[in-house]
Amino acid sequence: MQLQTTIGQPPLRPLGLLAELTHRCPLGCPYCSNPIALESRGDEIDTATWARVFAEAADLGVLQVHLSGGEPAARRDIVEITAAAHRANLYTNLITSAVGLTEKTLAALAEAGLDHVQISIQDSDAASADRIAGYEGAYTRKKALAGEVVRLGILLTVNAVIHRANIDRVAAMVDQAVALGARRVEIAHVQYYGWAVVNRAKLMPTREQVERAAGCVEALRKRYHGSIVIDVALPDYFARYPKPCMGGWGRRSLNVSPSGKVLPCHAAETIPGLEFWSVRKHSLADIWQSSPAFSAFRGTDWMKEPCASCPRRFEDFGGCRCQALALTGDPRAADPVCHLSSHHALMAELADQRDGEPYIYQRQRADRTAAAENALVER
Ligand code: SF4
Ligand code: SF4
């Protein structure tokens, strides 16, 4: 069976696979995109299953695997998993908090064929960065590991997650990425899924801050032209049109959860009634082509007005289904980020709600004992 969006167009093939190796993480970022109900260590799929998934992904057309989490280095078999992805001829990108990943393991990962590392930074100010991460010493650890990544000749991207507490230091965060030797920096405004919804009023910047940061990034692009690529993920709540979430539902990528469930996007489980198939029981090709969750919002047939007749529907695919559900109660509605949505005014209302209460941190409570964290860091 070949999937086609429109007659005459080539079949849909995924290009990227997000491998969520574990939900365990020593950090507790208040904007973490992990689900509120985290999957436990005992439910995680094993090394051999990941190796099979990577081989099947390559057969399906996937070019790039993002080894992510939680903190992927919390898996004791992270080197074997990376080697399996490399053997499958996938470009391997490790998305790490840098906490829990030792220099020794990093060297072994380089040996196993790791192509690229992405390290998130919370702020250019050490005390603020550690407070946001909910982990003392995280800032120092990230700087040290970034240096080691560059020393080993692995390409480095810095992911600077932006919100009210650090948005006024965007320039300093980009300067920091340059100083760390990154080739690319992502200015990633918080997207309000998972834990970020819980902390929305604590994280939301003001419109003035967002506009100031946008001007600042333009100036930084000129200053650093040719030395670092600066990408920006804009904040939804201040936009007029939605983003094509995941490049369109079931069009370009797959997420495999720690327990082996395959999702069209990491928040898809928030939509009730969707049936997710697992790599424990199905091949990846079977899931991509036939699983109910991937078919649910693929293409444009599921749309209702105003999307169904909108000329932009092949560009943004109606935006994010999870956000449509969360804010309108209907996963088939237009993403309320769109100014044509009858719910658009709600975005402005929510963007105006702010409180200064302490963050509610993402926690993998089952594993977050001092002993477990020490084991993570010392391995
Ligand atoms: S807590 Fe932070 S570092 Fe850990 S997975 Fe979530 S966002 Fe990433
Ligand atoms: S109406 Fe729907 S398809 Fe048109 S721009 Fe808005 S979200 Fe996109």
219-235 pLDDT tens trace: 999 999 999 999 998 88
pLDDT for the residue 235:
85
- Closest atom of ligand 2 relative to the 310 alpha carbon: 4
d(CA 267, CA 194): 7
3-state secondary structure of 279: coil
pLDDT at residue 345 is higher than 60: yes
pLDDT at 371 (0 to 100):
38
d(CA 167, CA 148) in angstroms, rounded, equals 27
Expressed in angstroms and rounded, the spacing between residue 70 Cα and the centre of ligand 1 is 6
Cβ contacts of 69 within 8 Å, gap of 6 or more: 20, 21, 22, 23, 24, 25, 34, 95, 258
What mean pLDDT comes out for the span 316-344? 96
Q: How confident is the model at residue 374 (pLDDT cuts 50, 70, 90)?
A: very low
Say what the pTM is.
Answer: 0.91
Report the pocket of ligand 2 as residue ranges, CB < 6 Å. Answer: 241-242, 306-307, 310, 312-313, 316, 318-319, 334-335, 338, 340
pLDDT of residue 10: 56
> Ligand 1 centroid to 314 CA: how many Å?
32
Alpha carbon distance 156, 94 (integer Å): 10
* CA-closest candidate to residue 203, choices 44, 43, 340, 361: 361
Cβ contact 36:362 at 8 Å? no
More confident residue, 372 or 271: 271
CB contact at 8 A, 194 and 20: no
Contact 328, 344 (CB under 8 A): no
Asked whether the predicted pLDDT for residue 149 surpasses 80, the reply is yes
